[in-house]
Chain A
């Protein structure tokens, strides 16, 4: 069971309070009708699925109810950082010391 830092509650809390919400920083296009089928497919389905640092969304659904973002290492499952929704994607190199 993961221990997750909620950037809104500013506490480390048990995974049971959280719901995973998929890859982060995939913004819904402002005008989907302008997208080609391929672009729309990429938005809907294509995912990074890295073996390494993964930027992902969680919701503190049994807590403050906020969606937020996290950078997590998918081999160790260790969280490198969590940050509020809308904040920019942090630099992986800064998080891990190694450029990806």
Chain B
């Protein structure tokens, strides 16, 4: 294979060969190469196939706007990715690259048949057919369409890499480290402002890396660059990040930066994340992202070997790669002429420079002649030939806008330049307006909505001198606006390459334009005629044109295609470009790895999991866990060979027979303190509190202002001005926030304060006939006999030597206590009680058993038996409402018409006719199982368990007018059979007299 590498040229390290493979073929490049430059050095232009027509494609650009040279790349197991831009991916030792969207191979691809049917697959064709016969859509057409879509293939292994994220704050963030960005960084950096300068490529310098002959401040460009970087590096207030893409510009100068840390490294240091997401808050932002070169639109402008002239110049000067020996240059801008000159001076033999403009600066044509390059001014290009590499180009004279006599010119590359587009993607993210400059035929920044400065080619400026000056000015202004004292520094520039150009629609042709394959969006195979077809079909808005043709929706995000598409659309619409307008640029600026957004949130640190102080004991004793809100709770404690059902039956029996221990630490706890504590509680909760004695507790019910049940819990009064409020595990934060809301904004006059003590206390529940026997020996300073410490008593005391809050409370119907001790002692308390409990065959139980035991007593679980549509009356909790209270949160809603109307769903008990049948939670209930669908459903089963204590299955359900259906038989139609059950209004299935409770 021929080598196009020029010795001792470019910024690559000619002494450092790097091995890599492309489609399995072993190749060699140099340190400092991109995958694309290395392939070009190996004489490989053919790098991909297009999306729709599978046309052979070569690399077009040298940057992140590359539409064609997309490849699968792989480092090792779990390190494959599709659609890597060969122009961005730096060469690393052992890099494996594979071409995409072709079968069997890149050279011969069966899919290329689409190319010959191309005229069938015009824009939007799929909206117009594939509709008959109806059934064929699902089975034939759609699978085929989908199979044909897509570029690369998905990874199939879990990602082996890790990712990071970091917040940053800076005075000035400069995006783009080309000449303008560097000048801005110098100006701002010298002022002492905190400066971040970021660039998406491996090396700062931007266009300077492709323009080595310019002389700045008396130094050759690359020396000036080195000196500038040295000065910036020496400034402690300046940070330079390379391989860092500003992906999105968010509110108030928040910028997202995606930094690639390891993909370029031969070996990755331990602990190094692959990529890092920076979230930078900048006082001032300077956008110096330069301009993007546009292709020219002519038939066959997509053959391998046809590329952007600026890219060819970059490959030559930055990477020391000659992309061709006999290039033809086709341009509408002066810049491409210099590419020809550089190539000629590097030993290539440019055949001709075709300029579509009618007059070109004499200096350029003279210099071309010196190099022996033919100059064809005011011409058009109407075709190219060559299957896997361009071999000739068809050039025509143009007479009053019409292409005339053609001429074929042999060549091995075509270097095109359709002018340059200011890169304003990020600016557009801010919803800043764009203003059309008819002189430049380009959109320039208009109205700004953020503290942002745009400088350099982004403002349509051309030439190093003007760009440097503009960057320095912007950097100075940004520093001043950030409150620094900055003075502007001028730069001198010699051997500059100023230039101008024009922006044109598709080039005129002497052939049938309806048959021309003149591409605008290379990757999506959108041609000029597709745009015109869209307009012909009534797509007037540029957004419609974009969506109908998919122009600009490829992975280059329209960087290359937007303006060409606009010029052609506006011509077809007969409107000026600004009247047609531009489609919105959407973040990210370049495609960004999902993992980078996820950052540290992967595997163990994906999301926090709260564990109680007693959790280690549960884990050591083989508990099965269930997630409840952010907590993980012990679900049940299976003995060897036990399934959940068996374990739960054992736990239930043991608790009712003797005593069970339960970790209730996750319950929300709120300290309500202050002289107005009672008043506050009266207003928040439905229950009355004024008469609740100190040392007593009461079930509390909390509604939303809409009258529906939000939360509940046992609330103890520990002093005249002090309540210990408990909430549901999931409700803790919500309830505290709701209380604070009312307290701060509705009743600021109340003297009461709220403090979350959820994690101050670890809570151990002892439940069962032997609970007192087990607890008594540990309690100091308190008599807990039935008489002295009855059901719903509360007190502060000492338990097992720890300061404690003790509640006589039961969620099981058994004699029960809940011991709260400072969290650090929770595990010790549990272990002491566990040890002492052995004589009573104490049993640790989890949330599932807790649910069974409470269901046997008909105690509801908010969120399971109620669902945010139930009122206290619906849930049979009218008794929990303070009848004499003038008001409480939600009271007014309870008298809304539909809250008191008949037909509400009400909570009842349900007993299956077959006592062995356990209904499925969520099962629906009907009165007539034989009615046709849709059936009239009365309600659903909310809780359902097997109960040994009751000796049968038990269930709760919400049923329309349930309270009036005592004894009624209802039906639960399951997929394959129908179950029957009777309604019982009283949901207390076990020990209705509460004798065990008050034992």
Contacts and interface: CB of A to CB of B under 8 A. Distances in A.
Nearest to A21: B741
Nearest to B279: A1
Contacts of A61: 737
B773 interface: no
B740 A67 contact: yes
Interface in B967-994: none
Contact of B886 (A33, A76, A77): A33
A67 B741 CA distance: 7
A45 B699 CA distance: 30
B893 A40 contact: yes
A77 B744 contact: no
A83 B708 CA distance: 32
Contact of A44 (B281, B706, B740, B897): B706
For this complex, into which size category does the number of interface residues on chain B fall?
20 to 34
A79 B138 CA distance: 50
Interface in A39-68: 40, 44, 57, 59, 61, 65-67
Given A33-B886, A76-B449, A57 B745 contact: yes
Contact of B896 (A2, A37, A59, A76): A37
B489 interface: no
B705 A1 contact: no
Nearest to B251: A2
Contacts of A2: 251-252
B891 interface: yes
A1 B250 contact: yes
A28 B746 contact: yes
A90 interface: no
Contact of B254 (A1, A19, A28): A1
A12 B281 CA distance: 11
For this complex, into which size category does the number of interface residues on chain A fall?
20 to 34
Given A37-B896, A44-B893, A14 B746 contact: no
B367 interface: no
Nearest to B748: A86
Nearest to B896: A37
Contacts of B167: 14
A32 B281 CA distance: 45
B838 to A, nearest CB: 45
Contact of B737 (A28, A59, A66, A77): A59
A65 B743 CA distance: 12
A93 B254 CA distance: 29
Interface in A1-41: 1-3, 14, 19, 21, 27-28, 31-33, 35, 37, 40
Contacts of A1: 250-251, 254, 279
Nearest to A28: B746
A85 interface: yes
Contacts of B251: 1-3, 77
B203 interface: no
Given A28-B746, A67-B744, A3 B252 contact: yes
A5 B891 CA distance: 36
Contacts of A67: 740-741, 744-745
A61 B737 CA distance: 9
A49 to B, nearest CB: 19
B667 to A, nearest CB: 21
A27 B748 contact: no
Contacts of B886: 31, 33
Nearest to A57: B745
Given A40-B896, A85-B748, A65 B252 contact: no
Given A1-B250, A3-B252, A32-B887, 19 more contacts: A1-B251, A1-B254, A31-B886, A31-B887, A33-B887, A37-B896, A40-B892, A44-B705, A44-B706, A59-B737, A59-B740, A66-B744, A67-B744, A67-B745, A76-B449, A78-B252, A78-B449, A86-B745, A86-B748
The 8 closest A-B pairs by CB, nearest first: A32-B892, A3-B252, A67-B744, A28-B746, A1-B254, A2-B251, A67-B745, A85-B745
